[in-house]
Amino acid sequence: MAKWECTICGMVYDEEKGDPDHGIAPGTRFEDIPDDWTCPDCGATKDTFEKIG
């Protein structure tokens, strides 16, 4: 499982934890998140995230 960081605000999406508050189940790979998902902290689009681990 990888982690992805928003290059705008620094929020980290952890694939192991998911984003259950926004409908993304734990264990969901970043590639499998819908393209219209946005950063829950700043609203940035999915393409602003970079893989960090």
- Annotated binding-site residue numbers for Fe cation: 6, 9, 39, 42
Location of structure tokens 């609203």 = 43
Binding residues: 6, 9, 39, 42
Burial 35-48 (b: 16+ CB within 10 A, else e): eebebeeeebebeb
